[in-house]
Amino acid sequence: MFSTWQKEKATAALVDEAQAVADKLADAKPHQVESRAAAARFWAAFHLAEGRDLYAMSEWKSEAVAKFASTAQASITAMRKKRDYDSSDGLAVWLHTARALNESRVAPAVRDIWQHLMDAGPNADSMAEELILDAGLPMDKGRRVPDGL
């Protein structure tokens, strides 16, 4: 019984965390949303260059999604210590996406996050392309919502 309560509390925390990001994006200035959208796209290109298509994460085994989430969380923590907030916020989008794929109650908030990113202005695309080119990564297919959301 205690274990069930702990799991429920942990799931509620994940939902609240994703909803807080969605709410923050809803109230953000356009350039902040564009920056988050660009950084999320950069991380997708980064992982694609390493052979992991984040947009197809819904097709991964749940263990691989959980491993990605764990690794992403550690990377985000390290980036935030270095005050690299824009990049860490972009990777956090993918962390929430992974969580949504493994816990359906997180999905509505993550869909809201992605809707805000899709509604970002055109500067998001040029910023993403610049980040991708500066890192020497192959160009991606453009802004889109991950499969399964």
Amino acid at 37: A
Q: What would the mean pLDDT of 115-133 be, rounded to a whole number?
A: 97
Q: Is the pTM of this model over 0.75?
A: yes
pLDDT score for 45: 97
In percent, the amount of the chain with pLDDT more than 90 equals 90
Side-chain-side CA neighbours of residue 123 (13 Å):
8
Does residue 40 carry a pLDDT above 60?
Answer: yes
In percent, the amount of the chain with pLDDT more than 70 equals 99
Q: Which residues of 105-114 are buried (b: 16+ CB within 10 A; e: fewer)?
A: ebbebbbbbb
Q: What confidence tier does 7 reach under pLDDT thresholds 50, 70, 90?
A: confident
Q: What would the mean pLDDT of 95-121 be, rounded to a whole number?
A: 96
Q: What radius of gyration do the chain's Cα atoms show?
A: 15
